Amino acid sequence: MPYLRVRYPCRLVMVEQLYWELALRHGDWTVGTIPIEKNKRLWCHASEGFLGMLHYDLPVYRPPSEGNNLILQATLGCSHNRCTFCSMYKSKTFRARSREEVFADIALAAEEQPDTRRVFLADGDALALPPDDLAAILDELAVRFVRLERVSCYATPLDLNRKSPEELTLLRKKGLTLLYFGVESGSADILARIRKGANPDKIASALGLAHDSGIAVSATVILGLGGRRLWRDHIEGTAALINRAPPDFLSTLQLMLSPEEAGTFVSRFERDGTPFEPQDDLGVLEELHLLLSRLNPPRPVVFRSNHASNCLPLAGTLPQDRDGLVAIVADARDGAAALRPEFLRGL
């Protein structure tokens, strides 16, 4: 059976069983495109000389920057799974995969791709694993992939806060070098409305623990999360939180709700009678303008708003590039710069 490599030019990748079927063609390259939802396609191929197939529990998601890397499921689902804007793991019950299952996947992947340098541990928050289990997986990866440079995974605030500095430092020494972390907002009110399961203090504490242990953090915030009513609180709180506990990388997403999660999101948001009025592009640019204007982190933060959901792609390092980025956003807000067309946006 072929080993399947999946590429998807977006923040999240969803792998469907059909793609395995496509890849099961024997022999030379098998190339195909299959629609997974409106306007989205996933490209896949099976390489020559395959030895086997990893066993994925679908759907599988990964950050866009992990698109060329080995994806291994250490856990299934998300240990929190309550955020009202997120539908990624609603079909799964969180559990850790057994050590035997994970090691079998590692062995298979090592036979197929012994030169692997980067590994992403799925699903929603592999950092939820007990430190000993995660350390054992990191040790096995180091043994099987002699050229390994980076292991990364998603993490929640709780995952970080319930680990000691010593445990995190040990995981870093064993090769866990990057965490993807959803800040979403620095406003206590917004975080409660979206059921993030953490307040700004807990998020700052989690980011501080990661930083002190030497594990880099790539964090995301979601523009539009407070709607037109609460946008200022959302952005002022977010800027204050990032200045207080800066991640290494920061990127913005733009709120996009699927029909399945929109009802839950809005009803939870409106629980105190505050209506949720979605931001339009102008409102989002106003948020981005205020956020960048307020960001003054005490150490460099690589900033990106190049995710496909954003109406205005930006890239720079804060605080040194802040004034230039603010000027670009002001131009876009005033109509002097083009925005990404709607049909090119997505999650």
Amino acid found at 312: L
Cα(293)–Cα(291) distance, integer angstroms: 5
Do 138 and 99 touch, CB atoms closer than 8 A? no
CB nearer to ligand SF4: pick between 5 and 196: 196
- Asked if 81 interacts with ligand SF4 (CB under 6 A), we say yes
Q: Smallest distance, Å, CB 78 to ligand SF4?
A: 3
**Minimum CB distance to ligand SF4, residue 87 (Å):** 8
Q: Which of residues 178-207 bind ligand SF4 (CB under 6 A)?
A: 182
Greatest extent of the chain over all pairs of C-alpha atoms, in Å = 61
Q: What is the dihedral of CA 273, 279, 285, 291, to 10 degrees?
A: 30
Q: Which is nearer to ligand SF4, 23 or 129 (CB)?
A: 129
63 scored as a contact of ligand SF4 (CB under 6 A): no
Of 56, 89, 120, 265, which lies in the binding site for ligand SF4, with binding defined by CB under 6 A? 89
> Hey, what amino acid is at 143?
V
User: Do the Cβ atoms of 34 and 41 come closer than 8 Å?
Assistant: yes
Asked whether 187 and 207 are in contact (CB, 8 A), the reply is: no
Q: Is 88 in the site for ligand SF4 (CB under 6 A)?
A: yes
| Residue ranges in 91-130 that form contacts with ligand SF4 under rule CB under 6 A | 124
Site membership for ligand SF4, residue 276 (CB under 6 A)? no
Query: In the set 80, 97, 118, 234, which binds ligand SF4 (CB under 6 A)?
Result: 80
Q: Which two tokens stand for residue 248?
A: 């290494």
Residue among 15, 44, 70, 78 that touches ligand SF4 (CB under 6 A): 78
Angstrom distances, CA of residue 88 to CA of 60, 83, 92, 238:
9, 10, 9, 23
- 156 forms part of the interface with ligand SF4 (CB under 6 A): yes
Q: Which residues bind ligand SF4 (CB under 6 A)?
A: 78, 80-83, 86, 88-89, 124, 156, 182
